[in-house]
Amino acid sequence: MLPSPQDIRKGIKLASPAELSHFLESVERRAYKQALYGARDEQSALDIVQNAMIKLAEKYADKPVNELPMLFQRILQNTLRDHYRRQKVRNTWTSLFSSFSTKGEEEAFDPLDILQDSDNQSAPSGPESSLEQRQMIAIIEKDLSQLPTRQREAFLLRYWEGLDTTETAAAMGCSEGSVKTHCSRAVHALAKSLSAKGVELP
């Protein structure tokens, strides 16, 4: 049974599991459409909505029912922003290996320094390329664990966290030249691994 207005105002009646479930069912379709407009991919939209619902249930299940709509929207928007950030990172990685292939094994070279975005690489990819991209990223993420520690740190700070060379050097406690060397070696190792697995770089 839904809480009375008096109980809600007093902050006494909190959402029961049944009420939380009913709320999630009532917003699921609208949330999916909202996520689909932003993500432009059905599977990604489903994942975004599911993750937002799980976060609401885990962190705010004991909140009053009248607070759930605003909380859920806030979580959904944050989850969408996280998706955009990951998508931008993944598109950057795709371009990164392509640009690196033209530089050979130059040791003190950071591919991100000359990476171009003339083709709007940071925009969400279309459905036709999303599966191929996810497969490539899955290989990269697996191979990252095999890199030497400093190479992995430099790669993640530069290409995942989005730090520039100076910030990465400060975080790692080394010179900017060392950051570029670590990045160059990391990208070369990952590109070589992709090639060995039959992944064609754009």
Please check whether residue 201 lies inside any domain of the structure.
Answer: no
In the chain, the number of structural domains is: 2
Taking 3-state DSSP, the helix, strand and coil percentages for the chain, each rounded to the nearest 5, stand at 70, 0, 30
DSSP code, position 119: T
Choose one of 57, 85, 113: the last residue of a domain.
85
Q: Are residues 148 and 120 in the same domain?
A: yes
Q: Which residues constitute the domain of residue 27?
A: 5-85
Q: Is 106 helix (H, G, I), strand (E, B) or coil?
A: coil
Sorted by sequence, the CB contacts under 8 Å of residue 90 that are 6+ apart come out as: 133, 137
Q: Which of 17, 16, 27 is nearest to 3 (CA)?
A: 16
CATH number of the domain residue 58 falls in: 1.10.1740
d(CA 30, CA 49): 10
pLDDT tens, the chain, 202 aa long? 444 444 444 444 567 888 889 999 999 999 999 888 888 888 888 999 999 999 999 999 888 888 999 999 999 999 988 887 777 766 666 666 665 554 445 555 555 554 444 444 444 444 445 566 667 777 788 888 889 999 999 988 888 777 889 999 999 999 999 999 998 898 888 888 877 877 665 5
d(CA 62, CA 42): 31
CATH number of the domain residue 166 falls in: 1.10.10.10
User: What pTM, to 2 d.p., does this model score?
Assistant: 0.51
Please check whether residue 202 lies inside any domain of the structure.
Answer: no
Q: Are residues 151 and 162 in the same domain?
A: yes
